[in-house]
Structure 1
Amino acid sequence: MPHFEDFYANKLRGSLGVTDAESVLDLREANRATAEASIGDMLERSRFAKGKTVAVRLAAPPEGGGETLFQPVGRLLLDAKRRGWIERLQTLPAGDGLGFYVALAGKPARERD
């Protein structure tokens, strides 16, 4: 079987959704400050525990358009990915609504022992 780079292997695997995640962080009713604090708490706690997967659910735009939490939450998650706290970050499939599938890296094994 051929070896694929992670980028291409992830494309073959397809999108992971809410049912694939170990837990769900539902921010559909949250305001921006609460959502940012919740994401910050999730990321901080994940740095000291075993890695896990989380589906972050966000509210759809209001009727007629408007702001969502997608961009501010996405920026926080992307920054965490750059820092190495997130192993995999992708949007949820359309059937699951607006949000992200996040695989948290957790604490490195040598530090956990």
Structure 2
Amino acid sequence: MPHFDEFYANKLRGTLGVTDAESVLDLRGTARPKAEASLTDMLERSRFAKGKTVAVRLDGPAPGGGETLFQPVGRLLLEAKRRGWVDRLQTLPAQDGLGFYVALAGKPAREGG
């Protein structure tokens, strides 16, 4: 996009990353059970608070292969999106490393009556 500064062009492309998020959940170096518990806790708490954006950071694959948290965390976030707890979910841009940019829906507005 030649007419835009690269920063704004990336915004239009949808590459929201760590610097765009209101907070960061850093799960790098965390064992799977603890990472899943931390993520579940964040999702549960978000249902009773104002919506916000979170960058979820994960370890990249280890040299020689091995399991990462990308799939299990991704599944939890997709399930939360299906439940309406997450408004927007995308992977972090390459320069931010492995992880997700998540817009939490927050507490639903009460309908006046």
TM-score of Structure 1 vs Structure 2, range by shorter chain: 0.7 to 0.9
Higher Rg: 2
What pairs up with 1:1-113 in 2 under 5 angstroms?
Answer: 12-110=12-110
Q: 1:86 & 1:68 partners in 2: Cα distance? A: 22
Q: Percent identity?
A: 84
Query: Partner of 1:87: helix, strand, or coil?
Result: strand
Structure 2 residues not aligned, in runs of 5+: 1-10
TM-score by length of 1: 0.86
TM-score by length of 2: 0.86
Extract structure 1 runs of 4+ deviating beyond 6 A: none
Give the counterpart letter for 1:69 in structure 2. L
Give the counterpart letter for 1:41 in structure 2. D
Query: Partner of 1:88: helix, strand, or coil?
Result: strand
Q: CA deviation at 1:15?
A: 1.1
Number of matched pairs = 101
Structure 1 residues not aligned, in runs of 5+: 1-10
Query: Partner of 1:16: helix, strand, or coil?
Result: coil
Q: CA deviation at 1:14?
A: 1.9
